[in-house]
Chain A
């Protein structure tokens, strides 16, 4: 099951939609893992004639299906960091009328959205659809380090080792949720870690 209904939360928390085809001069689709399913759902032959798909499989076997859509350009890379130069180049070369579709994990959507915003696309004009893992990209508010794919609350910062509480407070600029020390006043008093949505 690649779809998940997130509980409603504070205004800061991103809300994702369902991708739909929009008129445009070109289409840039960036996805990871199960995001491929959303691309398969939205793709049309007409759209694929002007489409550039950038895909990070993360161990999922969708690459052949995506290639079979026959997009104008296709790239698969091992990590977001590996794909970043490609994504940057796609935005540098793009003209107004480009439609951007981002789908997969929140970490992928957030980072690609920031790249699109930096390139001059208003964030509200970027389509997003969450699919697959609900793990979060977290920033430690203390050391500023990023911990990827966080699934439990609280968790240990992979940079400074503090025990961090998973907040819904989100930064579009950092493409990350904020993690705040949970035992600052009573060091060592850390609640049992459980799934973020349990």
Chain B
């Protein structure tokens, strides 16, 4: 499968929230209902930017039961490859776009007795949908949300107004930090932790929880990696018998697709494992960026995740 099924949508609202984050609302072009989803799901948005097509995953933040519209929030990344800049600068109300059916790689474990959410910055978005889902059946949850500054605290007002007892906000510039060890200590048996934010935050939460004796299965994380630009490189695709060039600002997966070759994918963010590709031969170094393959697999050079990982060296031959 190359991605989830597609839906033709129209942009019906664009709301800038602060200097970095803008919210987009999508409704079906044919006027029909969108599928319901589960909190934590994302959609892959197709961006046609002249010759270049980008497919970026964004967490759905609207009510999972609202079938009239989906909303996403996009944080502008001035250093990225241009997907978020395209959304911010080029997309206008009334534009028609293509998005994928929702895919959830960060779902709630509904066996949990309590859901403890830890958000960093734009990592708040999946929790907005999960909170709406849990509120429907009076779920037990608590949110700890770290933002850089008050002015960059997307949805802080909405959360503190609606859920004053469950929401805890921390501002970096006020030297306000989540005291994680204290927070984890004494949580009732059956509590699950969900963390979404920068890589460092996810590592910190996973390591701290493990050292406090929390089971690995009770710690859930999501980090979408945007493919990072890098030096151009050449790849031989053995099955298709083609040699392709991967440009500076495109991902290996995008280069394979540009050559007209069918390649599986789902999240395009190094998380789901769908695009895993076998390496037949190589001379050089891999720049692995995914968190699907484990450390051994990153070291042995037998597999690569073309959605986010790159290569530097003389030869790379893939089983594709």
- Hey, which bits of chain A sit against chain B, CB under 8 A? 22-25, 91, 94-99, 119-122, 124-125
Contacts and interface: CB of A to CB of B under 8 A. Distances in A.
Nearest to A119: B189
Nearest to A24: B213
A25 B185 contact: yes
B211 A23 contact: yes
A86 to B, nearest CB: 16
Question: What are the nearest 10 A-B pairs in CB distance?
Answer: A120-B190, A125-B215, A24-B213, A122-B217, A97-B213, A96-B187, A94-B189, A120-B113, A23-B213, A120-B189
Which of B112, B211, B213 neighbours the largest number of chain A CB atoms within 10 Å of its CB? B213
B184 to A, nearest CB: 7
Contact of A97 (B111, B113, B190, B214): B214
B317 interface: no
28 contacts: A22-B213, A23-B212, A23-B213, A24-B213, A25-B185, A25-B213, A91-B189, A94-B189, A95-B185, A95-B187, A96-B191, A96-B212, A96-B218, A97-B184, A97-B185, A97-B213, A97-B214, A98-B213, A120-B111, A120-B112, A120-B113, A120-B188, A121-B215, A124-B215, A124-B217, A125-B216, A125-B217, A125-B218
B216 A96 contact: no
Chain B facing A: main interface SS = loop
B186 interface: yes
Contacts, number: 56
A144 B308 CA distance: 52
Chain A facing B: main interface SS = loop
Interface residues of B, number: 19
A25 B212 contact: yes
B213 to A, nearest CB: 3
Contact of B191 (A24, A120, A125): A120
A120 B115 CA distance: 12
Interface of B: 111-113, 184-191, 211-218
Nearest to B217: A122
Nearest to A118: B190
A121 B189 contact: yes
B180 to A, nearest CB: 13
Contacts of B112: 120
Contacts of B188: 95-96, 120
A112 to B, nearest CB: 14
Given A25-B212, A120-B111, A120-B189, A96 B217 contact: no
A99 B191 CA distance: 14
Contacts of A96: 184, 186-191, 212-214, 218
A185 to B, nearest CB: 40
Contacts of B215: 121-122, 124-125
Given A24-B213, A125-B218, A95 B186 contact: yes
Nearest to A25: B213
Contacts of B186: 95-96
Contacts of A24: 212-213
Which of A95, A96, A121 neighbours the largest number of chain B CB atoms within 10 Å of its CB? A96
A94 B215 CA distance: 14
A125 B186 CA distance: 18
B240 to A, nearest CB: 37
B188 to A, nearest CB: 6
